[in-house]
């Protein structure tokens, strides 16, 4: 049952609102404030953050172990970069923590996990197909570019792969084209998910509308939104370096920050 005064739907976890929100104009100060709020949320409930971040750290280590077992450790670069693409789905729990703190509600393990499992019945599940499709395209284009630029090279080891990529014309071409293609895919993914994922966690709205709203928010606020995307990309890459250990802190902080940025970019009414 929908409350026409507040726009919320009674009985739904998280006090879900109905329909797409009205977008606001934001600035770089909003990005900074969102990051500060994200850090504050993490410090307030570090156990949750370390739990969700630990899922990705262990997942990254599992991928590395698998690649070593099949003799393709060099593939850890594209897979490690693409692996955090599924981060927003675990981030649902982080969104719920931020929402509860913002609304002054108690943050409990039962309440947070209930919201995570509840998403199976909502539109967020459809976004999994969108994100995983983009991840598949990312991995496929890496393999395609490897075949086009380095097809006649042998790189069965990490050292050999690094030497070819960094010290041969073919390797330079692979890096340049791969970076451009990867940047385009990253822009598409970021634009369609930065607002849509926290929106779908909070609201009853179809995933297509959520993606369109997310893209509209990026178009409306290109500098702050892309600035946030750049920060997310850099921090995530840095977090991957110490055996994925940085993900323990970086991913939960960015998850909380994304929710706060969404709340600043979208009107709560609606």
158-204 confidence digits (pLDDT tens): 677 778 878 888 888 888 888 888 888 888 888 998 998 888 888 88
Rounded Cα distance between 261 and 91, Å, is 14
Rounded Cα distance between 63 and 81, Å, is 12
Those residues whose C-beta lies under 8 Å from the C-beta of residue 268, and which sit 6 or more positions away, are 17, 21
| Cut 0.85: pTM above it | no
Above 80 in pLDDT, residue 49? Answer: yes
Section 135-142 average pLDDT: 79
Above 90 in pLDDT, residue 36? Answer: yes
Section 64-71 average pLDDT: 73
- The band of 236, judged by pLDDT with boundaries at 50, 70 and 90, is confident
Q: How many Å from the N-terminal Cα to the C-terminal Cα in the chain?
A: 15
* Per-residue pLDDT at 256: 94
* Per-residue pLDDT at 60: 75
Those residues whose C-beta lies under 8 Å from the C-beta of residue 97, and which sit 6 or more positions away, are 41, 45, 48, 107, 112, 256
Section 37-41 average pLDDT: 96
- Average pLDDT over the chain reads 80
């Amino acid at each position: 049952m929908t409350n026409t005064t507040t726009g919320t739907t009674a009985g739904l976890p998280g006090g879900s609102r109905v329909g797409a929100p009205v977008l606001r104009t934001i600035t770089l100060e909003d990005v900074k404030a969102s990051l500060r709020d994200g850090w504050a949320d993490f410090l307030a409930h570090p156990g949750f953050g370390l739990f969700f971040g630990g899922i990705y750290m262990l997942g990254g280590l599992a991928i590395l172990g698998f690649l070593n077992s099949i003799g393709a450790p060099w593939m850890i670069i594209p897979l490690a970069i693409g692996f955090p693409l599924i981060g927003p789905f675990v981030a649902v729990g982080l969104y719920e923590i931020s929402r509860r703190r913002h609304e002054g509600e108690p943050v409990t393990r039962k309440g947070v996990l209930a919201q995570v499992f509840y998403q199976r019945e909502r539109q967020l599940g459809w976004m999994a197909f969108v994100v995983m499709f983009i991840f598949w395209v990312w991995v496929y284009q890496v393999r395609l570019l490897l075949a086009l630029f380095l097809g006649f090279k042998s790189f069965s080891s990490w050292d050999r792969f690094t030497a070819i990529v960094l010290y041969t014309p073919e390797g330079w071409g692979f890096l340049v084209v791969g970076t451009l293609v990867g940047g385009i895919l990253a822009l598409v993914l970021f634009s369609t998910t930065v607002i849509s994922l926290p929106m779908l966690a909070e609201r009853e709205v179809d995933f297509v509308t959520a993606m369109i709203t997310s893209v509209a928010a990026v178009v409306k606020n290109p500098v702050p939104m892309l600035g946030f995307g750049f920060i997310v990309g850099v921090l995530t890459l840095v977090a991957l370096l110490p055996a994925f250990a940085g993900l323990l802190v970086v991913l939960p902080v960015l998850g909380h920050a994304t929710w706060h940025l969404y709340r600043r970019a979208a009107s709560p009414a609606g």
